[in-house]
Structure 1
Amino acid sequence: MNTTAPELNHRLLIVDDNAAIHDDFRKILVRPPPAPEPFPELESLLLGKDAPVIAETAFNLDSSFQGQQALEMVARARAEGRPYALAFVDVRMPPGWDGIETIGHLWGADPELQVVICTAYSDYSWDEIVQRLTKSDNLVILKKPFDTAEVLQLAHAMTRKWTLAGAVRERLEDLDRRVQERTREFQEANAQLAESNAQLQKEVAERTAAEEALRRAEERFEKAFQASPMAMSIQAVPTQRYVDVNEAFLVLTGYSREEVLGRSSQELGFEPGLGWCQELSVRAPQDQRLRHHASKVRRKSGEVRDVLLCLEPFELGAEPHLLAIAQDITDRLTLESELRQAQKMEAVGQLAAGIAHDFNNLLTVIQGNAGLLLDRSDLDDEVLNSLRQIQAGSHRAAALTRQLLAYSRKQILRPTVLQLNTLLAQWKPTLGRLIGEDIRLRCDLAEDLPPVLADAHSLEQVLLNLAVNARDAMPTGGELILRTCRLTLDAEAAARRPGTAPGTYVSIQVTDTGHGIPPEIQCHIFEPFFTTKDVGKGTGLGLATAYGIVKQHEGWIELQSEVNRGTTFTISLPACDQAPEPVPTPALPSRPRRGHESILVVEDEDSVREITVHALRRAGYRVTEARNGREALHVWEQNRGVELLLTDLVMPEGLSGRRLAETLLAANPNLKVLYTSGYSGELFDRQFNHSPDGPLLPKPYDVHTLLAQVRTCLDEPAKLIKPRFVKTSRSC
């Protein structure tokens, strides 16, 4: 800081309209005498420092006689950089401004100008002066008359005040500059601090947001991890120990969380090749990702489940870990295997049905011609014996085709509401004779079973086939057990059996104590022509027929077997809510009566049509014939006296037997109708949407059966006769 004393400004301005006053001021101030002693003491008292010794000082005086002139001089001096320090201003200066107004203008031009106002006692009071000028810090009043010492003291004091005030202003300006500099520095520092603080707050906010996002991600992962239906686990790769598992993992493996965490897969019994073993854990980081890896896992109970694995390596705390995701595909593989088996059997069934249909037409011709020849009396015994062998062979062939149709689910069924317990009681003697005396037959029948809608003859065939297989599996004797029970399937259980609906079922279990069926054979036992018996001892159609019959009843058949521990076949059929019907007793065969009625035979197979027409005409009937439905309509127009329509169901030319019958019945409601067919099933399902109740003559048929069925149909009251086939449902 500069401590040099400021240079004093001795420039003074005298403003008075009296020239004599100007002379008096010059006398006093131009060559002033030494300053009296009281002033330094006053300065010391006012300014708080040692009073300087006032040397003889020469003031520079300028004169102005009017206020306007004084204003010009003050403004010019300030502009030229040589301002006045002090002005002595008289109050009364006619004719221009008075002293008070002049002072106001002078301060407007130079606010730092010190002023001594010269006034008499009769002039303005101090309050009036202050009120007009609004400030008084640069103003001193000098009352007239005044003496030399007083003027000199005021001149010294006021000029020194001006100088000190200037120094103070400089100091204040310097201080203000320094304050501004420091303020600017502080502002710059504060701005930098604010910027740094804002950046820090941003980083803190970003980190907080990142931590919150991480927390939420971890929370979402934990929720997804625990709620996932897939079995998920996390292992530390170096130790193979589990650090976390989800609930699905525990369900899959059968272990508790406490048993798993902190232990390795080897300690838990996941043997190599069974589960996510050490080899897979080592391969995963190298291969980066192993997806859809089929494997197996052994549960705590020892059960082995098929799984589909996805292994994902990742770092956790700079330590390699392995995320394993496993999907239990055991049930899916089982369903896929069953579906493939069903598709394979369906394909074989379609082939068998096609063969059986054509074969039945051929057998009809063979049986019909053999029957006609056997009725002749002019043949010798050798020819008759040959004809009987032909007829017996055709009957065996017909039985074989019936088995093929049963397997393919296209045989003709006659369902009725049955009580299985009643049927088993009726069939027990027959089954006992079939299996022999060395095998014990035991029935364990549940009470209050609901009835089923089924074909009694077909179910008997199923049980006979199973009983024969059981007998052959117990060559040294054993036990055959028949059980019945009620079974309820929910949606989940039904989904595991393709084509099965939820609901109530009635089951029949056929259990033997024989040698059992090896696992490698079990998947083939329902295939047609598959047999483990010696050549000539089995056709391989027994279980295939049972499978087809049960499927045609909208049920299912299951197998459970262990080698040397026996076999159990379970047949499940949909329950019915209607009352069971009595099982009809077959009527004894009798020779059919002859007739004379008019019959229209419609058959597209020429050989079948010829033998049918020939047999009917020999029995006395009046017969007309047609190759298809269109031709039959033309024949009908020529002969509307037809009393019976005997028509094949499936014919070319776009007009089926069903449509033909409907057309003719519309013209003659009293017309009788008898259908024939080499197969039924899906074709009937498309043609008829409800259970029919009329007769259908299945192919192959012999002459005796043909004539008996025709006579029965003609003797019944007139009604729309429709083919009977089965389409089971729980509501019957």
Structure 2
Amino acid sequence: MTQKSASPAPRILVVDDNPAIHADFRKILCGSAGLGAHAELDAAEAALFGEPEESTLQVSFRVDSAHQGQEALEMVRRALEEGDPYQLAFVDVRMPPGWDGVETLERLWQVAPELQAVICTAHSDYAWDDFVRRLGQTDSLLILKKPFETIEVLQLAHALTRKWELARQARLCIADLDRLVQQRTAELVAANAELQKEIAQRLKIEVALRESQARFSRAFEFSPVPLALLRVNPLRCVDANPAFVELSGWSKADLLAAEPFPLQWLKQGSGEPSPLPLDLEKPLRQQSCRLRRPDGQERHVLLSTQPFELDQETCLLVAAEDVTAQVHLEEQLRQTQKLEAVGQLTAGIAHEFNNILTVIIGNVSLLQSGDVNPGLQAALLERTTEYAQRAARLTQQLLAFSRRQWLQPRPLDLAHTLQRLVPILAGGLGDRHSVRLRTATQLPLVLADPKGLEQVLLQLLLNARDATPDGDTIEVTAGRADLDETAAAHNPEARPGSFVWFEVTDHGCGIAPDVLPRIFDPFFTTKGMGRATGLGLSTVHGIVKQHEGWVEVRTEPGRGSSFRVYLPTANQTGNPTGPAPEDGTTLSLQPAAPVSHPTPPPPGRGPLILLVEDEVPVRDLTAELLKRRGFRVLKARDADEAMRIWETCGAVPDLLLTDVVMPGTMNGHDLALSLQCLNPDLKVIYTSGYSPDVVRETLEQQPNTVFLAKPYHPRALFEAIERCLASQPGCSAGQHCPQPDAGVGARAWA
């Protein structure tokens, strides 16, 4: 056998009380004494196994000596602690005094069970059976008889140290294998535990899924909301609950068998069938539409859809809530509310006009009696004119409330406008009240109608005056505000953007919470019968809404109220801002200075006017006024008669003065277009008691046209005709002619 030196030499412990024995072992195991024997051993190995001889290295052993068992035990323990254990121990049987060899081995094996041992004995004191009985059956023990041969010692040393090394390697391999087995076993145990958890979890999920499916099935079947499951491509019904089947008007079998989906959905407000408003990417929520049943009935529904995947196919859950009965109830409620509003409005108008007509009829009766002196006659005429103009103002307030009055917006500096208007309007509030104005020096321009703003400010000042009958200082302030989404969310009428505001504040009685929601209702007033019309704040609301603004009210009973009006800046409105600034015209409630007119033409020699009016008294009165002014007049009751007169009169009229709304085949607008095709230079003045919105588009696009609202003052009629014929910029084409100010008597134009 050969051993190549690669690791530390095997370590051997010799335990004997004879020093000479120690020297012999060292000579054999550590010196050159064993070299020849080792060579002989290699030669014998080659002869036996037929292997070629190799050059071998002398394997030297590290040999330590112990003379007593206790010393040997201590050395074995120390070697183990140092990590360099003894592999083999030669132990003499007799070592007096102290432990003998057998007891020494017993002690050593208690500390190092792997230690290989050779009992060296020259006597036959112990038989092998004795050793086995005391030391147990073991393969780590051999007996060497003294005297021993060198070759025997070397063979034992080589064989047993090699055995110890192999046993150690085997133990290490077994330990590694055991560790790997334990690690793998732990992994398998953990995997098994995780698998058991997953199995338990899956069982739970399956149970929950079955329960969920059962709940969904019950909820689907018994839900009062019509539900259906649809597959896409092609669109067909997979399942429908009884409520959906009843709503559809189909049987469930026919509904499931039909391909594509047979129901017709109509968009709200559309009479033509349109495809089901499906979006496969986004859910649909509460889409108002109509469902057409096979029997022709239509049901109002709120349609909701939810896309989802089922068996790798896109499907839709459709919910169609039937709101037909609710829609009918809402329509009835709206109709009832309309009737209530109309009744209140009619009662208010009747009250006001009855008062006005009482004065007018009474004054006319006195004038017709013939026994009225000239002074009283002039006063009666003045009062009659005043109440007629009051009726006209009431009509304008109604139009403002309905947001249908004609406005002429232009860029205005609100601060400058308030500085001019407040001192003028404050004079009409009485001696007990004063107005304090606080405003920024520079504010963005707003697109506003000066007369409309004057009316809004006047009504708010009058409202503040009435809230403080004992006198007070009314505050008027103005500023600008840039509102974002959060700030605008506090008022349903507000919106984000840049605005200019002005506010009228009083310190009076305030407004009760139960009254506040109704303050903008027409003819609603808390001032008592006969003290107010109830149109003041409703007029404010209507004018401000026409300016694309809104009013915010802050009030507290007993501590006053603030009305803040928001107006969009010029670049926030839909109207063009225009380059022209405010012209500086003074706005007040005082009568305007008389307008100078050109000298009337001689009677019967003035411009020819075609007058078209279906109301006979109005037509006759207007014709008489025009004739007195020197104009020539052709009268027609409708458009058809006007066309005949045009064709047969033998002259070309210079101007068409026509009512907008008339009976017959054409209205005033159609008539004007027809005649302007015959004479493009024909000037046109439209008159109407309705809102000018009916001809707004014409006035904006059609040249040589003017609108004159009824009732109009005769002087306004003459101004409109003269400016229209002369194409003066004060009343140019497409403009609305202003009315003379209130309070001017009939003698101003007669």
TM-score (norm 1): 0.47
Relative contact order (alpha carbons < 8 A, sep ≥ 6): 1 or 2 greater?
1
Larger Rg: 1
TM-score using structure 2 length: 0.46
